[in-house]
Amino acid sequence: MSQLAADKYEAVIGLEVHAQLKTNSKLFCGDSIAFGAAPNTHISPITMGHPGTLPKTNQLAVEYAIKLGLACGCEIEKDNYFARKNYFYPDLPKGYQISQHTTPICKGGTVTIHTSLGSKDIALNRIHMEEDAGKSIHDLHDDITCIDLNRAGTPLVEIVTEPCLASSEEAYQYVTELRRLVQWIDVCDGNMEEGSLRCDANVSIRLKGATELGTKVEVKNLNSIRNVKKAIDFEIERMIRVVESGGTITQQTRSFDATNDTTFSIRDKEEANDYRYFADPDLAPFHLTNDLIDGIAAQMPLLPQQLQLTLQEKYGLSAYDAAQLTDEKATADYFLSVAAVAQQFKAIANWMLGPIRQYLNEHQQSFADCTLQPATFAALIQLVEEGKVNFSIASAKLLPVLMHTNGNPLLEAEALNIVQVSDANELDNWVQTAINNMPDKVAEYKKGKKGLIGLFVGEVKKLSKGKADPKVVTTLLQEKLAN
């Protein structure tokens, strides 16, 4: 496709994200929602919708939905009811899904994203609650489909944006931000591989500057943020091709094929599905009190974007460090716990985002598991700052020990024999030996090849087994070589 053709059009994207709420049990009964159980073991008669069984709403799920709504600045609907959305599908045991229809629990609101073009508020249309369906498994047997109903009835919120995203990059940032937010406020584990967060992307194109929306297609069940981006990129290009070659876009539901980054049609969407919604007669309408809503608001943690700003403004960190440290709440909490006992904020960030993160990664851990006590961490920073131990040696040798012992960093460093020698005689010896070892290089240095200083420092490092402070050594070498 020519650039000229691409430049004539703009994309319009609206995203629907299903987030599984982090409750223990289902939305309307006590069945567990744990992932990975043997098929069809978490299915009581209520999940199965047997006649005469009565659903009961999970209060915690409602509170989580409110929490997310408050975090996105939504208006909370006080008078709610659940509706039956009727349709037939083999993985829907009751023949209807319990959802919200005319009264989504949250209305409006925004999620702010940052892209290469700056920041943008993505407008939400609504967040509503509903139950999940079961799973149809097509690839277990050649000629039959297997049904696992464990997931049926799992509490979800569906977060629906207005058609206001303009590129796959915005969509990528939006899902990334939403994922960070739901994890941060602890209402969803955000695990896209296990399907706790799934995204449907609605995509259309129109001539640049046009005001009416074009016909959309909906790409279903994208299970990674990268696939959201790839599917949208593919769709935009496909649609431009269709229109440029004189065709028209048909409204379709499509699926993404991750093996070749393309999408394919599952069905043409009929004008309007007739779900025959009606209020579920087994569930009484429910009213949310101000006390309940205010109580949830009062317990809201500082949100990641606010904290990110604080880390820059109050702690003087770079935008990059602040973003990294607020990627997960446990990371930010850990930073703050150390910053409460040590003033060297930049050093804390450097340690955390460098050697400590590396150590944790190697042990398949996260900052939630970090055993290094803030006071020990503070003493470690102090030790390096005083020049007693060099940063890279402390990272490689002292840190792993402290992770286990939380001992006194100076004593541990002495035991490891890595305390830097500041004794002038000993330093002088190493420096002189290094100079004696490399007469040719000394001559070159004296002729003006000053860059060789690093080589001499390296030699001293070897001779001293890392115990000579490189800063002091450099000065000493410069003095000696000047004569």
Site string for ligand ADP, 146-165 (x = CB under 6 A): --------------xxxx--
Residues 302 and 77: their CA atoms lie apart, in Å, by 23
Residue 14 binds ligand ADP (CB under 6 A): yes
Residues 470 and 431: their CA atoms lie apart, in Å, by 11
- For ligand ADP, the closer CB: 199 or 288: 199
Q: How far is the CB of 93 from ligand ADP (least distance, A)?
A: 23
Q: Output the CA–CA distances (angstroms, integers) from residue 74 to 123, 126, 160, 170, 218, in the order listed.
A: 10, 8, 12, 21, 25
- For ligand ADP, the closer CB: 13 or 435: 13
Residue 213 binds ligand ADP (CB under 6 A): yes
State which amino acid sits at residue 140. L
Q: How far is the CB of 104 from ligand ADP (least distance, A)?
A: 11
Q: How far is the CB of 76 from ligand ADP (least distance, A)?
A: 20
- For ligand ADP, the closer CB: 149 or 171: 171
Q: How far is the CB of 171 from ligand ADP (least distance, A)?
A: 11
The position carrying tokens 């939380």 is 406
The answer to whether 101 touches 83, Cβ cutoff 8 Å, is yes
Q: How far is the CB of 127 from ligand ADP (least distance, A)?
A: 12
- For ligand ADP, the closer CB: 123 or 453: 123
- For ligand ADP, the closer CB: 98 or 356: 98
The answer to whether 79 touches 285, Cβ cutoff 8 Å, is yes
Residue 168 binds ligand ADP (CB under 6 A): no
Q: Facing residues of 155 across strands? A: 131
Q: How far is the CB of 7 from ligand ADP (least distance, A)?
A: 19
Q: Output the CA–CA distances (angstroms, integers) from residue 189 to 22, 196, 467, in the order listed.
A: 7, 7, 46
State which amino acid sits at residue 239. M
- For ligand ADP, the closer CB: 252 or 373: 252
Residues 363 and 470: their CA atoms lie apart, in Å, by 31
- For ligand ADP, the closer CB: 99 or 326: 99
Q: How far is the CB of 288 from ligand ADP (least distance, A)?
A: 24
Q: Which residue in 299, 296, 298, 283 sits closest to 76, CA to CA?
A: 296
91 class by beta-carbon count within 10 Å (0-12 exposed, 13-18 middle, 19+ buried)? middle
* Of the residues 9, 13, 80, 159, which one makes contact with ligand ADP according to CB under 6 A: 13
Select from 32-40, 48-56, 166-174, 198-206 the region that touches ligand ADP (CB under 6 A): 198-206
Q: How far is the CB of 18 from ligand ADP (least distance, A)?
A: 12
* Of the residues 23, 80, 168, 204, which one makes contact with ligand ADP according to CB under 6 A: 204
Size of the site for ligand ADP (CB under 6 A): 15
Structure tokens at 299: 């317990």
Distance of CA 404 to the CA centre of its chain: 28
Q: How far is the CB of 11 from ligand ADP (least distance, A)?
A: 8
Site string for ligand ADP, 15-44 (x = CB under 6 A): xx----------------------------
Phi and psi angles of residue 261, each rounded to the nearest 5 degrees, phi first: 55, 40
Q: Cα 95–201–232 angle (5° rounding)?
A: 145
Residue 12 binds ligand ADP (CB under 6 A): yes
Q: How far is the CB of 323 from ligand ADP (least distance, A)?
A: 27
Residues 316 and 1: their CA atoms lie apart, in Å, by 47
**Nearest to ligand ADP by Cβ — which residue?**
14
The position carrying tokens 């880390």 is 311
- For ligand ADP, the closer CB: 154 or 202: 202
> What DSSP line would sit under 135-189, residue for residue?
EEE-SSSSS--EEE-TTTT-EEEEEEE-S-B-SHHHHHHHHHHHHHHHHHTTS--
Q: How far is the CB of 200 from ligand ADP (least distance, A)?
A: 8
* Of the residues 167, 173, 202, 227, which one makes contact with ligand ADP according to CB under 6 A: 202
Task: Please name the helix (run of DSSP H) or strand (run of DSSP E) that holds residue 362, with its range, or none.
Answer: helix 357-362
Residue 124 binds ligand ADP (CB under 6 A): no
- For ligand ADP, the closer CB: 204 or 227: 204
Residues 211 and 207: their CA atoms lie apart, in Å, by 9
- SS3 category, 117: coil
Select from 113-121, 138-146, 202-210, 219-227 the region that touches ligand ADP (CB under 6 A): 202-210
Select from 93-101, 137-145, 200-208, 240-248 the region that touches ligand ADP (CB under 6 A): 200-208
The position carrying tokens 């440029």 is 244
Q: How far is the CB of 177 from ligand ADP (least distance, A)?
A: 16
Which residues, numbered 364-423, are part of the site for ligand ADP (CB under 6 A)? none
Structure tokens at 355: 């050697």
Residues 202 and 13: their CA atoms lie apart, in Å, by 5
Residues 8 and 13: their CA atoms lie apart, in Å, by 17
* Binding residues vs ligand ADP (CB under 6 A): 12-16, 160-163, 202-204, 213-214, 216
